[in-house]
Amino acid sequence: MSETRQGNLSVNSENLLPIIKKWLYSEQDIFIRELVSNANDAIAKLRGLAGIGEAEIAEDEAFRIDVYTNRETGELRICDNGIGMTAEEVEKYINQVAFSGAKDFLEQYKDKSADAQIIGHFGLGFYSAFMAADLVTIDTLSFRPGAEAVRWQSGDSASFTMGPSDRETRGTCITLHMAEDSKEFLEYGKLHSVLLKYFRFLPYEVYLHDAAKPPKEGEEAPEEKPVNCEPLWNKKPSECTDEEYKQFYHEVFTDFSDPLLYVHLNIDYPFRLRGILYFPRMKNEMQNIEGEVKLYCNQVFVADNIKEVIPEYLLLLKGCIDCPDLPLNVSRSFLQSDATVQRISSHISKKVSDRLCSLFDKERETYCADWKDINPFVKFGCLRDEKFYERMKKALIFETIGGEFKTVDEYVEALPAKEAEGDRPAEKKVYYVTDPVQQAAYIDLFKEKGIAAVVLDQYIDNYFISFMESKTPGLRFMRIDSDLSDLSGEGGADVGAAEELFRGLEEGLKVRSETLSAGAMPAVILQSETTRRFREMSRMYGQDPSVFPAEEELVINSASPLIAALAGMAGDESRRADAELLAREIRDLAKLNQAPLTAEQMKEFTARTLSILSRIADQ
């Protein structure tokens, strides 16, 4: 370009800069993402043209992006050796903001190159520079033979000067003279973290230089190392080792624990999608309630945890997903409503369920070992997504109190068979415990009969068992303190007098007898499964559980020698007082095995126990 001229930018709004700062770009460091992304696009454009024979590049051409920071001069430079621009192109794509260079490029070459889509979806990215700079300079030289270098400069984003540049190599260099409130981005460490955040996996190498600290005379320049690296998801799953998957996880998420398992996504049709999702190891139930799924577009970071793309229940995972077909808006930050997004989300869910089911079928021992950690993800997914449940239902397992892992069908097969009644299907019971310590006495009862209850001790389980019952006719989950029908036997002593004695201890106490084993507890408390669930759900939603009065029943064991002795004492008027004392102790022991006593009940129980012990000591 042989002459310098001045002019005003052709824009569609008098308030372009406020729109850019407050609407298009929600984060302060976005201008770096935009300018480096544009440099990446410029290289991609050149390679696209070379691929269809419209540009010449050397076979050993090394494409790169260089970022220079200089705290002394207050300047930040971003340079590439991509396609460059002619004066006419600067006029069109920089001065006339209404046009999108990327969009125009795509229109021109869309039928000539299968790789044309690698050019970005964006047109206004360059103007994000004015978020952070008082003065912006462009030096550019087009790849076209005979092109002249051009310099463009603007200090207010509304007027410019344009003239010849002394640039001698193909490509573009953008220099930002940083505004006072943005000089933090001149700090080498800060800039390095931003580049790592957005461009860890950029296709072309990105180098960061501290121009304020050049090598001293006689010193060798330090070895150059790019900020970015090749993403593991670009390799075929068959080419990746377990160690590589683990190392990638540690580096990206700074998590020193190994992941439980991973899902490698590698899809070319009906859309392009690459990525790796990890199931993190949980130290406690609530630790990883919020995961970290990083979304990329053409290997440029877009955002974390985009709910439109990643199903809500998979946001508990950690991972990276790169999808060039995402319908992003101009700021590269938000998804536009599109059927493609729904298809992508559905496909990701399918891939995760396929991986889990494959593990269940082929490596069940490994699947069972990981179940304690992955089951919250799986259960949440089933509750939130009908299709996910349909794919996963064969692989839903439960851990028994004996440490075995069984599906519902495998568990039911071990129980006594139940006949169907009329049109009602045969009942399938699954006994469960929520607190193996508190419910230890009940566990012993079930173990004596060879029935292994399953452990359901997580917050989500109350919802999940109701969901499972709704999906399986005849299936009923029963906590082990709600039903003893599969434990009751024949015979037992006549303990009618003991039943009457217990009923007289407190008003409204329901009492009945069952023949359990002789060595079992003399009495246990049973609580209505339905009522207890309603009460627990009320607590979860912050409501008063007393709306559903507790339905409890004291079941005395007619096979217990202690209950038989108590029945005899109840009929002897001289021993009636001792019989009542013993009955109260048995009742409170039963309550203790079902739930903690209230403060007043515990005080009374302790005093009574001390009285009984004193009587024994005095004998």
The pLDDT mean for the chain works out to 83
DSSP 448-480: HTT--PEE--STTHHHHHHHHHHHSTTEEEEET
Q: What is the pLDDT of residues 197-206, one digit of tens each?
A: 999 999 999 9
Looking at residue 123, its pLDDT comes to 41
pLDDT higher than 50, residue 100:
no
Listed in sequence order, the DSSP H helices in 213-264 are 242-253
Give CA 528 to chain center in angstroms: 36
Distance separating alpha carbons of residues 482 and 315, to the nearest angstrom: 36
pLDDT band for 434, please (50, 70, 90 cuts): very high
Q: In what order do the strands lie in the sheet with 273-279?
A: 261-267, 273-279, 318-322, 292-297, 300-304
Partners of 273 in the beta sheet?
267
Looking at residue 256, its pLDDT comes to 85
- What are the distances in angstroms from CA 604 to CA 453, 559, 563, 607, 613? 33, 28, 22, 5, 14
Distance separating alpha carbons of residues 224 and 400, to the nearest angstrom: 57
Looking at residue 98, its pLDDT comes to 37
pLDDT higher than 70, residue 158:
no
| Backbone torsion region of residue 59, taken as left when φ is above 0, otherwise alpha when ψ lies between -120 and 50, otherwise beta | alpha
pLDDT band for 106, please (50, 70, 90 cuts): very low
The closest of 67, 69, 50 to 59, measured between CA atoms, is 50
Distance separating alpha carbons of residues 195 and 37, to the nearest angstrom: 11
Q: What does residue 176 show for φ and ψ, rounded to 5 degrees?
A: -110, 125
Q: What is the pLDDT of residues 124-152, one digit of tens each?
A: 578 788 888 999 999 999 999 999 999 99
Looking at residue 578, its pLDDT comes to 87
Average pLDDT for 204-217: 86
Say if strands 318-322 and 273-279 run parallel, antiparallel, or are unpaired: antiparallel
pLDDT band for 5, please (50, 70, 90 cuts): low
pLDDT higher than 50, residue 21:
no
Average pLDDT for 404-432: 76
Domains and CATH numbers, the chain: 5-210 (3.30.565.10), 232-392 (3.30.230.80), 395-557 (3.40.50.11260)
Looking at residue 517, its pLDDT comes to 83
